[in-house]
Amino acid sequence: MIHTLAIVGATGAVGKIILDQLVSREFPTKNIKLLASQRSAGKIIECGGKQLVVEALTAEAFRDVQIAIGSTPDEVAAEFVPWAVEQGTVVVDESAHFRMQPDVPLIVPEINPESIRLHKGIIASPNCSTTQMVMVMKPLHDAARIRRVLVSTYQAVSGAGIAATQELKQGLQAWLNGSPEEPKIFTHQIAANLIPQIGSEKEGGSTSEEIKMVQETQKIFNDNTIGVCATCVRVPVADAHSESLVIETEKPLSPEEASRLLSNFPGVTVNDNLAASSYPMPRDAGGRDDVFVGRIRQDTSSPNSLAMWCVSDNLRKGAATNAVQIAEHLAKEMN
């Protein structure tokens, strides 16, 4: 059992789920420390029947902290993570800031847990859209080696924060009433709309979110030959990201074999009965940890390609749950 674990960004949406997960999964720690910005310092949050006081995020706050899980914007992570590492804390960081640094492992525990021990004080957790995709890819890659993935994402507004969710709710009400609604979080109105841009423009016409899916996937699998073509779209859904996948393999896989492989993979649930209108949907995946897969079928344009659909709660396996799983592996190694 470790002495102290800290949650950085404890008052945010993901930070609250991390805290709930630590309690429900009975994480082996004597103490949990909650850290956040100065304006949140002093807030009291209930945790497993105890009242925890949120502390200000400072370098001194990491003294005697063995593991920290950070859920903060990139610029905050860039500042606090070196403080923590300097104090001897191992940081599981959910921001994008450190993910592609060569000496920072990028981890999904079901896929590459052996890379955790390569850390030098920092372990990165991938982008939420990448995480659910690679969970689907892993058993198929092991069986038939994936050459290429075409992915279109349908990403919920919760991925852009609590204010974005509120903007969707207000925008839907305004749209229903025929009233004007000025977007503040998004570049366009999200209510009754789709926005085919998540992140900033990058070279070649891709967005930063799309580039993340390419680079992070290749790093997680340690294979730069896997091709990924991503189109990332924000949709007027509150929680849980959806993805349409076309996966091309070296060896042919039947839909039945892919379904069997996915059903046997930890953290993946297959729900695939088109005749009964049964398949994964965001409203069913919200609040659950698994990645849900359905609509598994042959790509009729290519003999070695399968098409499928997956849905996952982006705040859980896409963020909080994955980070807690990494911390659990770390705790075992520390004991």
At residue 50, the pLDDT reads 86
At residue 181, the pLDDT reads 87
DSSP string computed for 132-168: HHHHHHHHHHHHH-EEEEEEEEEE-GGGG-HHHHHHH
* CB-side neighbour CA atoms (13 Å) of 313: 19
Structure tokens at 207: 């967005």
Q: How far apart are CA 102 and CA 223, in angstroms?
A: 14
The alpha-carbon radius of gyration of the chain (Å, integer) is: 20
The type of residue at 254 is S
Collapse the DSSP code of 279 into the 3-class scheme (helix H, G, I; strand E, B; otherwise coil) and give the result.
Answer: coil
Q: Options 3.40.50.360, 3.40.50.2000, 3.30.210.10, 3.40.50.720; which CATH number does 2-126+319-334 get? A: 3.40.50.720
Q: Which residues are catalytic?
A: 128, 241
Q: How far apart are CA 302 and CA 262, in angstroms?
A: 21
Domain-wise residue ranges, the chain: 2-126+319-334, 130-314
Q: How far apart are CA 297 and CA 305, in angstroms?
A: 9
With residues binned 3-state (H G I as helix, E B as strand, rest as coil), the percentages for the chain, rounded to 5, are 40, 25, 35
At residue 185, the pLDDT reads 95
At residue 28, the pLDDT reads 95
At residue 83, the pLDDT reads 96
Q: Which fold has domain 130-314?
A: Dihydrodipicolinate Reductase; domain 2 (3.30.360)
At residue 274, the pLDDT reads 98
Pairing of strands 55-56, 29-36: parallel
Within the chain, which residues score under 50 in pLDDT? none
At residue 174, the pLDDT reads 95
Helices 13-24/321-334 angle, 10° precision: 50
Structure tokens at 66: 């063995």
Q: How far apart are CA 290 and CA 20, in angstroms?
A: 16
Q: How far is CA 247 from CA 150, 215, 227, 251, 325, in A?
A: 7, 17, 10, 11, 27
Neighbours of 283 (CB within 10 A): 10
At residue 335, the pLDDT reads 76
CB 261 within 8 A of CB 152: no
Containing H/E element for 209?
helix 208-221
At residue 158, the pLDDT reads 95
- Taking the whole predicted model, whether its pTM rises above 0.85 is answered as yes
CB 87 within 8 A of CB 65: yes
Q: Find how far residue 195's CA is from the centre of its chain.
A: 20
pLDDT digits (tens, 9 = 90+) for 157-214: 999 999 999 999 999 999 999 998 899 999 999 999 999 999 999 989 999 999 999 9
Containing H/E element for 296?
strand 291-298
Write 327-333 long-range contacts (CB < 8 A, 24+). 327/5, 327/27, 327/67, 327/69, 327/92, 328/25, 328/27, 328/109, 329/109, 329/113, 329/116, 330/67, 330/90, 330/92, 330/116, 330/123, 331/1, 331/2, 331/27, 331/28, 331/29, 331/67, 333/116, 333/117
How many distinct helices (H) and strands (E) make up the chain? Answer: 8, 14
At residue 4, the pLDDT reads 96
At residue 297, the pLDDT reads 98
